[in-house]
Amino acid sequence: MYDVYKVRKDFPMLDGTKKMQGKNLVFLDNASTTFKPQRVIDAMTEYYTTFTANSHRGDYDLLYNMDVKVSEARKAIAKFINSEENEVVFTSGDTASINLVAFGYALKFLKKDDEILISETEHASNVIPWFKVAQMTGAKVKYIPLDENNKITPENVKKVVCSATKICSVAQVGNVLAHEVDVKNIAKIVHEVGGIMVVDGAQSVPHMKIDFKDLDCDFLAFSAHKMCGPTGIGALVGKYDLLDSMDAVFGGGGMNIGFSTNGTCVALNPPAKFEAGTMNLSGILGFKAAVEYLEEIGMDNVHKHDQELFDYAMSKLEDNENVIIYNKTSRNGIITFNVKNVFSQDEATLLNHKGIAVRSGQHCAKMIDEAIGTNATVRASFYLYTTKEDVDALVDALNEGGDILDAYFN
């Protein structure tokens, strides 16, 4: 394991000067986004101060150096998740990556009455694109039943998979209940009927060691900003033959060999095929720095730290009868809860008054309400720099109880 207090010194946002409501900041909204270590900030700044140039746009030294750095970043990310370099497509993030599969692959190959499997626990990014593709192709969206703990299991996938199943798209770790899905076995089931497996890795890639080849999924989407990297950059990792078969969703400079007055356009090979226009170059350099930072800490260590904090928080909250916890067995760094008789956003406002940042509402998973019996919750989420003292601050605030309005205004 690593020294969490030493790690915190790498993050300017954790230098002790940041306040909320005049209180020391306790940041427990890491499932939404994460803080950035200084080396990520430096890598992005260096682009603007030392390496500023476009990529794939000329024949001078600055541009050549930028091409090399983009290639190095792609190699670093491929190594991080164990894929081939030419299987890594830079996108603006997880949402763009899933949309790229939906409108580049599914829209091209799906036909009437084909089926797309998702679950009611999915984030909007892994729901709305499939709704749209189904409307445009005549395909059907079908839901994987959840088990008694609201988990997706291979056994329940078998209940709905059939010869019409062409796509199964699920989050490896959900952003509300945070249960880990057995992607490898589900992929095997889906492949047996000729379907493809799409994985939303927004909450898994930042928190655990991921092996793309071992999982044998077909596409994996994730965002840099949830793993110490900058916003506006992410990746779609896909098996090369599938990427090659897809249509390019965006057309423009940098993605084509040529086009002519007769309306023809010949695209470059993947991944360039999907990277039209000027890329987020400073973001790519920051992405690489974030991946290298996480590798130094060790993803197994990050995952173990998440689990230890989850267990610690659960042990502290188990005797509080006023706190309803919806994912007691997930152990993935997210605790989703409500306080009895308190609206989730009111509770989040109270916690904000105490300097504690949490998320409240539906968390962009707007079909989960029937499964958990409520349409809004509070979510506290940890990351590699979260301490037991941060958890204690949350627990103490929840244990105080009392009238929320009195607590807020006094």
Residue 234 CB contacts under 8 Å (≥ 6 apart), including other chains: 90, 91, 92, 93, 94, 96, 97, 221, 222, 223, 224, 225, 287
Residue 269 near residue 126, CB atoms below 8 Å: no
Q: d(Cα 359, Cα 27) in Å, to the nearest integer? A: 10
Residue 380 near residue 337, CB atoms below 8 Å: yes
Vertex 90 angle, CA 230 and 58, to 5° = 100
Q: d(Cα 143, Cα 130) in Å, to the nearest integer? A: 12
Q: Give SS3 for 16.
A: coil
Residue 168 annotated in active site: no
Q: Give SS3 for 197.
A: strand
Alpha carbon 40 to its chain centroid, in Å, reads: 18
Q: Give SS3 for 24.
A: strand
Phi-psi region of 174 (alpha: psi -120 to 50; beta: other; left: phi over 0): beta
Q: d(Cα 212, Cα 187) in Å, to the nearest integer? A: 12
Residue 107 near residue 136, CB atoms below 8 Å: yes
Could you tell me the two tokens for 114? 């084909």
Largest CA distance in the chain: 73
Q: Is 389 exposed, middle or buried (0-12, 13-18, 19+ CB in 10 A)?
A: exposed
Which residues does the annotation mark as catalytic? Answer: 364
